[in-house]
Amino acid sequence: MKLTIIGCTGSFPGPGSPASCYLLTAHDGTRPWRVLLDFGSGSLGVLQRYMDLKDIDAVLISHLHPDHCMDLCGLHVAVHWDPEGWGRDRVRVYGPADTADRMADAYGLPRDPGMREDFDFRSWKANEPVTIGPLTVTPYPVVHPVDEAYAFRIEGNEILDGRPVHSILTYSGDTDECPELIESARDADLFLCEAAFQEGRDDHIKGVHLTGKRAGEVAKVAGVERLLLTHIPVWTDHSTLLEEARAEYDGNLAVAVAGVTYGVRSGERIGDPRTASMARIPESLARALQEAGVRLRPIPGHRGTAENPVQPGPHDPSP
């Protein structure tokens, strides 16, 4: 499985990243499957740098805070009003029981049908796995101030080069420390875990988010291979949270970076599709981005430079 960070800024989009959205790809030996973990504010636009929206196999919503679900409103327009017709099945959307009604309300649609003509809404049942192509997703109820919030344990049973490959990704969603979170992350190859709070500043607030320290504690107890911290708000220094987590967890540790693709099993940064995608951005836009101070990074090992980002990239996030 490969995990591409579409958005990872905590609680609302930041200047360098949308709010929570992660593109997970897995190959069943016949075709790649593409599943989105959350679909927070700002993610719909960036996602189109990496894939055709029509290739979304499912959207998995962890909970109904806007930084995790609000761009379903935009996707509804993309599906419903495509002048050439969507031409695909309805998009499967797994989420809390209220998802369909809340999205209809957000858009100002009547709840019936709401967005049901475009989305095939399915409700999570705690601890009951669902199968999506080569993926088995189990939602674990976690602790966050909403009616339903889940962490996802995602087991990939892929066929790569004719051989079966098994790997486990756990995504925390938003949560504080709890036994279910530890259970969801047990022996995971990669633990994508939120760390929205900071010790000494927010650690007195319980039942909402993890600090870097608490994320490190969960990773240690769960025995994960790798910990990738995410959902860090704009007002928090990444290195502070890394140090907090490092004091508790001595495994492979990093902060998620928007635009980067990680191998779930290897933990390696196997591509930087954001940079690669610049090749698909019109030159005028690339120039405007640079003039606005957006830093475009070269691809390691390639001759692209910050001054000339329009270099074809080596990596396609789809297998």
Residue carrying the six token digits 């999570």 = 124
User: 140 and 172 in contact (C-beta within 8 Å)?
Assistant: no
The least CB distance from residue 209 to Zn ion, in Å, is: 8
Per CB under 5 A, residues contacting Zn ion are 65, 67, 174
CB of 20 to Zn ion, least distance (A): 6
Q: Which is nearer to Zn ion, 148 or 248 (CB)?
A: 148
Q: Give the 3-state secondary structure percentages of the chain, helix then strand then coil, rounded to 5.
A: 25, 30, 50
Residue with smaller CB distance to Zn ion, 69 or 260? 69
The angle that helices 212-222 and 238-248 make with each other, rounded to 10 degrees, is: 40
Dihedral through CA 2, CA 167, CA 64, CA 272, nearest 10? Answer: -20
Considering the complex, state which of residue 8 and residue 75 has its C-beta at the smaller distance from Zn ion.
8
Shortest gap between Cβ of 214 and Zn ion (angstroms)?
Answer: 15
φ and ψ at residue 137, rounded to 5 degrees: -115, 125
Q: Hey, what are 265's tokens?
A: 């099993």
Taking the complex as a whole, how short is the minimal distance between the CB of residue 16 and Zn ion, in angstroms?
17
Which of 65, 76 has the CB closer to Zn ion?
65
Residue entry with tokens 């599943």: 35
Taking the complex as a whole, the smallest distance from the CB of residue 65 to Zn ion amounts, in Å, to 4
Q: What does the alpha-carbon distance between residue 274 and residue 314 come to, in Å, rounded to a whole number?
A: 11
- For residues 94 and 126, is the Cβ–Cβ distance under 8 A? no
Q: Which is nearer to Zn ion, 79 or 195 (CB)?
A: 195
